[in-house]
Each structure stands twice: as C-alpha cells, then as structure tokens.
Structure 1
C-alpha cells in the first residue's frame, strides 16, 4: 500500500493515472545506478537514492536491463526509514543487440511466452519486494497490436497481485508508436522522450493521454545531460560512459550552438539551463512526472530545488516549443555504431 506523503520539498504531487495515488513531479530515474553515465561507489549510489527519498521524491523508475540498478534500489529501500515510494520497473527485452531498439522486431522474439513473468520475478527478487506499483514493457512496437499472449501475461500479473499498473516505455523519440495502445484503455502509463529539443509528444500523444487518464512519464528531460550545458568541444568521457557515443564529434558543434541559444531565457525565466529544461517539460499539465538520473547527490539536489522556482510562463513555453525543436535521434549512434542510418 502506498502512503501519501503530506509534505514535499519543492512542489506538488500529481495523481498517477486514474487513481488517488500521488507521485512526485520528479522521478528518480535509476539508469544512472548502472554506471552508464560514469562510475560511483555502491555506497554513494545507495546514498543518492535515499537522499532523494528524504527530500520528497517518492517515485523510482528502474529496469531489469539497468545492470545492478534494481539490486541497489532494493538495498536503498531497506535502509530508508521513511514512507514507501511508488516503485516502477521494466520487463527486460530479448533480441539481437541494440538493433531491436532501433527497428521493430516480432513480439515473439522480444517477449517469448513466459518471458514477461520470468523477468518480473527476477526484478522482485532483486528489489526485495513482493510487488511493484508499475511494470512497463521496456520495448514496445505498434506492429504488435493490442492482443496476444504477451498482453494476457501482463494482465495476469495484475490479477496475481504482483503489480498495480501496466505501462509501456517507447524505445526513442517515435511517440506515435503509442497512439493506438493509448486509445485502447489497456495500459495505465506511457514513458517517452520529451525535452526542449523534442517536444513532439506535446502535439498528440500527451493530450490523448490526458483524455484517457494515462500517466505520462517524460524521460531524457535533460537529453542525457546535454541540456544542462555541460558539453564543450573538449569534453571527454571515460570508457563505458554512454555519452561518449551519444555526443560524438559529428554533432557536438551544432549541439553546443543550440544549447547556447537557450541562454537567452536565463536568468529571467529559469535559474539555469537545467532548470529551464525541467520547467519546460513540467509546464504541460499532461506530464505526470519527469524522470531524471539523480545518482549524483549534488546534481539531484539542484534538480529538486528547481521545483521551488516559479513555473515557466506559457508564452515562454510556447516559444521554446516552436522555435527550439531539433529533429535528431542521438540513439542512432548507439543502435548502429557504424554510423549508417
């Protein structure tokens, strides 16, 4: 059972989907616990989770595919003495390398019969819990349709009391993949990329989710950190850091120029570029929560403090939405390392 927190440093909570469960407007995105954005000690990572929980972030999003993330989240939850957070994880997908994220695969290949239950059971063991609030397909393609053994298996997990809500996570910017299933009434949440450079989900998917009472979980809000302004022509990343591939030399010059163009809104409308990026996504009432990697305590505290700032004026939101969008897909560099699109 989820207990509603009465106080939250930095802002209001919002109802999750069509329920009375309240979640924080910022969600602890636990991908960073895997080391994908640089290494930290396990002690530091556990402390990072607890720090956010102590400051009122009551929503954690992890995944079976995030290395040791679930296990670390589980250890943090056992150490945390406060109220139980809203806990979400994702079903691990199968398939040939990263290509399955870039192009549609058959559902039988990605989620064979019995795999969904097997993946969730392993998540529950790693997390040290008997149930999670939300389980999401970590990969969903619209060509799978709406029916089949995979959907029956997901619904069965609800009936068995292992999960409260069902959702999907879209592989990248192609939010239109979720329009049909959003109309179906079969799911409770959709996780998709939404940020300053890619506001396209505001055009159709998010208004549809509002109409259908579907929770929208916005990810890549800071565009893997790029929208914070940290990137320079000389920035170097250690081996194993995903950003080494995402922010390749091929796009750096244009990326930095486009980030610099956003500085016109600082400090009048936001205290920093990070603040602007977070406030932009949360300016739309259809966004339930913004998922951000908060595995580094210093940056997590800065992110949480943004919620104490005045909201972004609608005129500024619309100006950024229309004049700063940039059609790109950083993940193409990951899907096909040879650079062929």
Structure 2
C-alpha cells in the first residue's frame, strides 16, 4: 500500500480507499458479516482510508461495528452530511443552500455520525453536495469550521455533484476547505484538466470516487445482467443501450494484461496515475473485488504514455444520473402546471 498526505492535515492516507456506499445496500443485497469482514480485510492489507455518508443507509453502523473489532491503529474516517429536502437535490437545478443544509443540520448530522461510527473525532466531514451559487462563505462553512475548532472534526470538505468537476474550483481557491470529492475515471477524466491541478496548488486533498464507474469498468456488465429493484445500477446502466456501454468497455481490453492484470486494475491504476489524486475510493464490500482492487497497487504504475492515451482517447462523458434523479416528464408537467396555476391566480 502507498500513502500520501491528506491535504495540509499532516495525516498520511492510503492512495486506495475503501468506499462504503455498498455497505448501505446500494449495490444489492449482501451479508452484513461479509461487509464487516471486508472492512477488516482492507485494514489488514494496510488500507487506512474509509469514506462513508449519512445518506448510505446502514453504512456508518456497519463501519462502526468493524472498527470495534479492529485492534490496530485507527483509520482515517471520512463521512458526509445528508442533504435535506423533499426531492433529491444532488443533480439538475441547483437548490439554495438554506434549503439543502438548513441551519444546525450539519451539527446534528455530525453528532449522529460520531455516535454510529463510535469515534471521538471525524477525520473529514464533507457536505454531500456543493454548488458555486452558494459562494465561498456562509453559515454552512461556519458550522463546519466550528466543529473543527471544537475537535469533533479534523478536516472539512465537499463532495461535488454529478460530473461537473469545475464547480468546486472557487471554493478550493478560497482556502476554506481541506478536501474535495469528485467523480473521476477512464470515461470521465475531466477533473484532471483543471480541478486536480488547482487542488495541488492550494494544498487541498482530492478524493476520487466512481473510479470503476459503478462497476461498469470492471467488465462485469452483459446484455442480460440482472439487478435487484433497489440496486443503484438498475437504472444507472439503462441511460444508453447496454451494447453501447459494453462496446466502450471492450475497447479497453486491449490494455489487459500487458498494462494491467484486469480491467478493474486498469481503472484503479489510471486514476492513481495522477499524483494530485490523494486517494481513490471504490465500493469494496465484496471481499473478492476488494482483493482485485488492492492487487492494482502491487502492479507497475501505468506509463505516462498509456495514461495519456486512456485520458484522451477513451473519455466518454455522459450523465447516467438523469433518469435516476431528474424529474420524470409527467412529474415535470405536473410541476409546470402547478406553477402556471399559481401565476394565473396572482395575475387575477
């Protein structure tokens, strides 16, 4: 395992982190004990960075149970504040900050995370959403800073929405945060263009997520791969014909095994090829997948030439979240009708 400093905190973290979204059941049914075992295996293999969230169901609970069984050095625990509101507000039209993170919500979430995880301090607390419309200061940042001043949080940051990596640049340059989390993978390397270099210049840690594109870059997907109804991927992979997605993945098989032992390892090595990425996280609640991801660390890094070829010739930026999170057409029609009715009443 290789380590690097997390921003300006002085803490060393593993460059391959444990993403705990899967522990909340986002990728289908799993055995809780297997989930706990996967966390412990990751730690036993030298990993020390775990990223979870209030929004991830029982994820914090399961991580907390694993930590109780762990007798080694405490890992670096990052979690996120769950956004508020009737509708999912992480994509589409930016909501107001007071709607998404009302006053005191940050503290309430932080206290609950501390309790469920069974720790005295959260190593990194992130907003599970940030839009530049909110500016680079305000009560929301004051509340994060207050928790930091009290010693309940060691570092603060934001997780950027969707594929729009550049929305976090003003906040990064303001000096107000310690970390930023962003989508980054072979198909979407856009964060490499501006955000990651700017984070390097400002000493802000970069947490790369979705490095396997919700598993698609591992090559597991076929035309008939079934998903449970509550599986996150059930709608994620229906945004374009599966044949199109599979064809894009198959183009990457030319790099295996010469440059990586598997497609998953190729994806991991690609994200870690940039020194500005502090840690890259993937859901590893299934131990066999965990071990394959960890094996990427033992392989030779990608050459600059191969990393460049992947970055420039295999990018395929598309938004697979639209049908999952944006309003359906009939709901939008209802919303527009309601708005028109209110406007008409006001006019009268």
TM-score under structure 1 normalisation? 0.95
Say if 1:62 and 1:88, in contact at 8 Å, map to a contact too.
yes
Q: Does 1:328 find its partner at 2:318?
A: yes
**Larger displacement relative to structure 2 (329-338 or 255-264):** 329-338
Distance in 1 (CA, whole Å) between partners of 2:2 and 2:140 is 36
**Within 5 A, what are the aligned runs for 1:126-165?**
126-165=116-155
How big is the shift at 1:20? 2.4
| Change beyond 3 A, Cα 1:236–1:140 | same
Within the candidate set 40, 47, 57, 2:37 is matched to 47
Partner of 1:87: 77
**Larger displacement relative to structure 2 (125-134 or 305-314):** 125-134
Q: Does 1:272 find its partner at 2:262?
A: yes
How big is the shift at 1:171? 1.5
**Within 5 A, what are the aligned runs for 1:176-255?**
176-248=166-238, 250-255=240-245
How big is the shift at 1:98? 2.2
Q: Does 1:295 find its partner at 2:285?
A: yes
How big is the shift at 1:249? 6.7
Secondary structure at the counterpart of residue 276 of structure 1: helix
How big is the shift at 1:83? 1.2
Distance in 2 (CA, whole Å) between partners of 1:337 and 1:82 is 46
**Within 5 A, what are the aligned runs for 1:72-83?**
72-83=62-73
Distance in 2 (CA, whole Å) between partners of 1:132 and 1:22 is 15
How many residues end up aligned between the 2 structures? 331
**Larger displacement relative to structure 2 (192-201 or 98-107):** 98-107
Say if 1:73 and 1:127, in contact at 8 Å, map to a contact too.
yes
Secondary structure at the counterpart of residue 154 of structure 1: helix
Distance in 2 (CA, whole Å) between partners of 1:301 and 1:275 is 10
**Within 5 A, what are the aligned runs for 1:105-144?**
105-144=95-134
Say if 1:99 and 1:336, in contact at 8 Å, map to a contact too.
no
Distance in 1 (CA, whole Å) between partners of 2:24 and 2:236 is 17
Q: Does 1:12 find its partner at 2:14?
A: no
Q: Does 1:171 find its partner at 2:186?
A: no
Partner of 2:23: 33
Say if 1:333 and 1:339, in contact at 8 Å, map to a contact too.
no
Secondary structure at the counterpart of residue 259 of structure 1: helix
Task: Name stretches of at least 5 consecutive residues in structure 1 with no aligned partner.
Answer: 1-10
How big is the shift at 1:251? 3.0
Distance in 2 (CA, whole Å) between partners of 1:308 and 1:83 is 22
The Cα offsets for residues 301-340 of structure 1, whole Å up to 9 and x where unpaired, read as: 1111110000000001101101111120111121126379
TM-score under structure 2 normalisation? 0.93
| Change beyond 3 A, Cα 1:99–1:91 | closer
The Cα offsets for residues 65-98 of structure 1, whole Å up to 9 and x where unpaired, read as: 1000001100100011111100111011112322
Distance in 1 (CA, whole Å) between partners of 2:132 and 2:247 is 35
| Change beyond 3 A, Cα 1:314–1:321 | same
Structure 1 residue ranges, 4+ long, deviating more than 4 angstroms after superposition:
none
Q: CA RMSD in A?
A: 1.4
Partner of 2:335: none
**Larger displacement relative to structure 2 (16-25 or 59-68):** 16-25
User: Larger Rg: 1 or 2?
Assistant: 2
